[in-house]
Amino acid sequence: MTDTDALLDVRNIKKIFDTKQGPLHAIDDVSFTIKKGETLGLVGESGCGKSTLGRVLIRLVEATDGSAWFGGKDIFSLNGAQMKQMRKRMQIVFQDPYSSLNPRLNIADLIAEPLIVHKVCSSASDMKSRVMKLMDMVGLARRLHNAFPHELDGGRRQRIGVARALALDPEFIVLDEPVSALDVCIQAQILNLLSALKREANYTYLFISHNMSVVKHVSDRIAVMYLGKIVELADYESIFDEPAHPYTQALLSAIPIPQPGARKDRILLEGEVPSPIDLPPGCRFSPRCSRREDICELEQPELAEFKPGHSVACHVFARGGRYQGTYAPQDQIK
Amino acid sequence: MEEALLDIQDLVIHYEKRNGAVRAVEGLNLRLKRGETLGFVGETGAGKTTTALGIMRLLPVPPGRVVSGKILFNGENLLDKGEEEMRSIRGGKIAMIFQDPMTSLNPVITIDEQIAEMIALHSGLSHRDSISRALEMLELVGIRRERAGDYPHQFSGGMKQRVVIAIALACSPELLIADEPTTALDVTIQAQVLGLMKDLRRQFSTSLLLVTHDLGIVAESCDDTAIMYAGRIVEYAPTAELFGNPLHPYTRGLFNSIPKITGGKGDLMTIPGLTPDPSNLPPGCPFHPRCGLAVPECSSGIRAPLEAGEGHYSACPVTLGGRR
Ligand SMILES: Nc1ncnc2c1ncn2[C@@H]1O[C@H](COP(=O)(O)OP(=O)(O)O)[C@@H](O)[C@H]1O
Ligand SMILES: Nc1ncnc2c1ncn2[C@@H]1O[C@H](COP(=O)(O)OP(=O)(O)O)[C@@H](O)[C@H]1O
Ligand SMILES: [Mg+2]
Ligand SMILES: [Mg+2]
């Protein structure tokens, strides 16, 4: 059975990498759904497992455990040929457009590549017209069709990445830090492009980023990850207005606000993120948490809904419903 | 006017390549008052790092070349100093922190020795005294004594940047130049490092030139802010004034293009086009080809920044006086 509303239904996914130092728990028991046409933002600091999760969902990396249902199909059980068909419907855009593009291919060839691999064009002229149409869609001037990636700025290279992802007319796109390597002016252009495309074609996005302001701007709902686990999940307004998890609160309070005098105080976290090889036994955030109680060091908290659409994984919150003096960033902006 | 700690006048720095000059810094003027923090903002390629390396006299020569201008530090032109004298200024009166901490760390020397070496070089303290001062510095940046004998690779990115801060401040420099010191760090670690720099800067009464592309960092930590575009300062003002009353069309465009945490979900405003290629700068105001307010005069001649109000300078005559 799957959630009927959901285009993507992810259940109890785990990914363990075998490393020299021992098993590395990159994703540990992650579940969520994404509705058709929805954008789910995935935030968290580097190494918390965002990219691994994105790659697992489209099977660029195989999950260790769990299942993912896409349009009612269990994608982890598909064989190679079936997965190839499925891949037309699920695409990814990477952070660094430069390293993900073959430097020897020009723009037209790069955009044609997925069309060729999936043999979707009836003729050379069909292919050419599809490539040109894709270039129009992502705002690349047609005259650039025989330019090479190294001749272009980062924003245009990212437009190529987006065009390649759109080539097969997918339903679902994983956007893995698509604007993190770009300057703010170019970032704004790409964010506008992604929302315009979505308005036109009703794409479903998993938008991965470590930048909270960007994620808030693009997402309908936001999942906050810490060391391989989702610690909080809610609509974008609730995450910012009433963050429930102490980590979400600290993360929000750490964002520098471009408005002099706006920030009154800041929750400074002690120490750094522990290694995903040598994990603390209880709540993974407990070693850095100022609200830690005994139970936090013993038992892992479950992600549980405490009001419709807002889930959190925190023992202290679950017990009290609320902390003393809950912090909301809005309180801090004059 | 009170003498500035750092006063850069009409600085021009080029990188000379076979196919022409890359005009990285084109007539830059910048003043940093004693005890203050100046935010130095601009997009990739604006010339921020080139300026910082120019002050430190660490430009790669060739292809880099200071074509003209002055860099006055305590009233003395650093460009007239010999290499010997510069070596004692660097790490002594002026220290620099880079985005990648490994630029400043030696991978094969333990961190206590690295800090002690810097202290001994500039203060003449004995090895023993330098080591004990190094341990004090490490404590100040929140690194426990037990870890002082570790090598850089044994530390995380945030910890390495703390070590670099300890080295930079070990000789109580008058000026600290920090070039994107937290860009490679996660936001919670960035908050720790910026907080630390703020505390220590006060303690050591060090002035700070903070190079960054993050307007949030500038708003939170800088007294004054300079906006750089295509090798020039286009606007310069006390930070609150700059954010409250941005005048230059580029500054306005930059502010409008960032998603705000308090903002809505509509399309972001964008600046059309791209930053110019510094080996092929347009004539006149370098921003005019992208500027919605440009008038014919903008495409010829360069104007010196004009004073729009108390300490507020803008290079755009069209928007001066806040009429547009
Ligand atoms: N192929 C791999 N082999 C071993 N460890 C990996 C591999 N890919 C990722 N990891 C580890 O998994 C964790 C999560 O990484 P990643 O998903 O890239 O995080 P994020 O995208 O949030 O920065 C990190 O500790 C990373 O070092
Ligand atoms: N060693 C070099 N040789 C040639 N050009 C360089 C060199 N270093 C920097 N540049 C160019 O100078 C301009 C300014 O660069 P930089 O000072 O690094 O800018 P920023 O730090 O603002 O990003 C850029 O166009 C850059 O490509
Ligand atoms: Mg990643
Ligand atoms: Mg730079």
Tens digit of each residue's pLDDT (9 = 90 or more) over B249-305: 999 999 999 998 877 888 999 999 888 989 999 999 999 999 999 999 999 887 778
User: Where do the domains of chain A lie, and which CATH numbers do they carry?
Assistant: 1-89+170-219 (3.40.50.300), 101-164 (no CATH)
Q: What is the pLDDT of residue A324?
A: 47
User: Predicted confidence band at B321 (pLDDT cuts at 50, 70, 90)?
Assistant: low
For residue A96, pLDDT over 90 is answered with: no
A240 touches chain B (CB under 8 A): yes
- Which residues 38-67 in chain B show a CB within 8 A of chain A? 43-44
Q: pLDDT confidence of A333, banded at 50, 70, 90?
A: very low
Top-confidence range, A24-28, A155-159, B170-174, B276-280: A24-28
Nearest to B237 by CA among B288, B307, B323: B307
Which residues on B lie below 8 Å from A263 (Cβ)? 220
Nearest C-alpha to atom 11 of ligand 1 is from which residue? A26
Ligand 2-lining residues (CB < 6 angstroms): B 15, 22, 24, 42, 44-50, 60, 63, 278
Q: Which ligand is nearest to the CA of B64?
A: 2
Long-range contacts of B185-189 (CB under 8 A, 24+ apart): B185/B157, B185/B158, B185/B161, B186/A45, B186/A46, B186/A210, B186/A273, B186/B158, B187/A45, B187/A210, B187/A212, B187/A251, B187/A254, B187/A255, B188/A45, B188/A250, B188/A251, B188/A254, B188/A269, B189/A45, B189/A272, B189/B157, B189/B158
The shortest C-alpha distance from A124 to chain B (Å) reads 33
What does B103-124 look like in DSSP terms, one character per residue?
GT--TTS-HHHHHHHHHHHHH-
Taking an 8 Å cut-off on Cβ atoms, the answer to whether B261 and A240 are in contact is: yes
Residue written as token pair 């992600």: A303
Find the distance separating the first CA and the last CA of chain A, reported in whole Å: 48
Q: What's the CA-to-centroid distance between A179 and ligand 3, angstroms? A: 12
pLDDT tens for A231-285 read 999 999 999 999 999 999 999 999 999 999 887 688 888 877 888 998 888 999 9
Average pLDDT over residues A189-195: 94
Distance between CA atoms of residues B287 and B283, nearest Å: 10
pTM for this model (two decimals): 0.92
Average pLDDT across chain A, whole number: 91
pLDDT at B324: 59
The answer to whether B261 touches A255, Cβ cutoff 8 Å, is yes
Q: Indicate yes or no: CB of B216 within 8 angstroms of CB of A269.
A: no
Q: Which of A46, A155, A260 lies closest to B243 in CB terms?
A: A260
Tokens of A194: 């992604």
**A124 vs A154, residue with greater confidence:** A124
Q: Give the number of C-alpha atoms closer than 13 A to the C-alpha of residue B241, restricted to the C-beta side.
A: 20
Q: Where are the alpha helices (DSSP H) in chain A?
A: 50-57, 80-87, 107-117, 124-137, 154-166, 184-201, 212-218, 236-241, 246-254, 315-320
Quick one: three-class SS letters along A87-115? HCCEEEECCCCCCCCCCCCCHHHHHHHHH
* Residues present in chain B in total: 324
| CA neighbor of A111 nearest in space, from A94, A95, A99, A129 | A129
pLDDT at A328: 45
Q: Do A214 and B259 count as a contact with CB atoms less than 8 A apart? A: yes
Tell me the average pLDDT across A291-308: 94
For B131-150, write each residue's pLDDT tens digit: 999 999 998 898 888 999 99
Query: Is the CB of A51 within 6 Å of ligand 1?
Result: yes
Q: What is the pLDDT of residues B103-126, one digit of tens each?
A: 889 999 999 999 999 999 898 899
For A45-91, what is each residue's pLDDT tens digit? 989 999 999 999 999 999 999 999 999 999 999 999 999 999 999 99
Determine the average pLDDT of the residues in B72-92: 95
Whether residue A332 lies within 8 A of chain B, CB to CB, comes out as: no
Strands B94-97 and B175-179: parallel
- Distance from the Cα of A285 to chain B's closest Cα (Å) equals 13
Pairing of strands A73-74, A65-70: antiparallel
Q: Pick from B217, B257, B259: which is nearest to A256 by CB?
A: B217
Q: Is A50 in the pocket of ligand 1 (CB under 6 A)?
A: yes
pLDDT band at residue A329 under the 50/70/90 scheme: very low
C-alpha radius of gyration, chain B, whole number: 21
pLDDT for res A1: 46
Mutate to test the pocket of ligand 1, among A52, A224, A273 (most ligand atoms within 8 A of CB): A52
Q: If you measure from the C-alpha of residue A52 to the centroid of ligand 3, how many angstroms do you get, rounded to a whole number? A: 7
Question: Which residue has a Cα nearest atom 7 of ligand 2?
Answer: B15
| Six token digits for residue A101 | 């593009």
Are A214 and B243 within 8 A, CB to CB?
no
Interface predicted TM-score (ipTM) of this complex, two decimals: 0.89
Backbone φ and ψ for B181, nearest 5 degrees, come out as: -65, -20
Give domain limits for chain B.
Answer: 249-324
Quick one: pLDDT at residue B156? 87
For chains A and B, CB pairs below 8 A equal: 114
